[in-house]
Amino acid sequence: MKKFDGSASDFDYNLTSDEKSFKTEEPEVLLSALIPQIDDWRNSIKSKLGDGYTYSPADAWSLNDGKNANFVYQKYASIKMFAYMVDKLKSDGGVFVDAAAFSLSLTGYNPTFFKVKGKSSGKAGSAEKYEAGGGIELLDNSIKITDTNTNAGITFEFKVKNNDLGTGTMKMNIRFNGTTQATLEMLSAKWS
């Protein structure tokens, strides 16, 4: 995310030092700290998403649901990054589609992309150009967001158009990497 948007700081969407220390807490303490924040973020996210977004957050958890503290910690990290992206909608209405375009460009699918490969000897690297058909645009003005209490991640699915590749269905997710941060990943890009 930081490479995608240089204005972001690590703490806007990654776990802070204090949040990382939560893992050492007793499960009951961890759950009582994280569950209310997850529920607050879900309510805030829903109120900030505009037309074109289908988001039905999962039901609120109670502390007595028997949830695994590690699972809730992972969900917390995912929701934190999702809340960050939703806040970015104020200044960049295309944040989800732009993230997909960036992901696709790394695999040679989408916009013309340049990559400089360094040499182990320390000599100057060479630039490689990856040609493609330009950017992608959102179709149907619709993004489906899936956030459940049974998956620690959050998935996004939407249709796009590319001048060369035609129409495609993008599926992305935010998931906790197991150590310090949530990651944004392209799960699939299916072109028809």
Domain ranges of the chain: 12-191
C-alpha distances in Å from residue 45, one per residue of 21, 32, 82, 191: 25, 21, 8, 30
| Cα dihedral value 81, 82, 86, 87, nearest 10 | -30
Nearest 5°: phi and psi at 63? -65, -15
Give the pLDDT confidence score for residue 28 in this predicted structure: 86
115 has pLDDT over 70: no
Give the pLDDT confidence score for residue 5 in this predicted structure: 53
1 has pLDDT over 50: no
- The token pair that represents 21 in the structure block: 């220390």
HSE toward the beta carbon, residue 37, CA cutoff 13 A: 16
What is the pairing mode between strands 182-191 and 154-162? unpaired
What's the pTM value of the predicted model, to 2 decimals?
A: 0.78
Of the candidates 31, 45, 28, the residue with the CA atom closest to the CA atom of residue 79: 45
157 has pLDDT over 90: yes
Name the one residue in this structure whose structure tokens are 């310090």. 180
Could you report the per-residue pLDDT of 133-144, keeping only the tens digit for each? 557 889 999 999
Region 3-22: mean pLDDT is 68
85 has pLDDT over 70: yes
Could you report the per-residue pLDDT of 19-34, keeping only the tens digit for each? 888 888 888 888 888 9
Cα 76 from Cα 2, distance rounded (Å): 19
Give the pLDDT confidence score for residue 103 in this predicted structure: 82
9 has pLDDT over 60: no
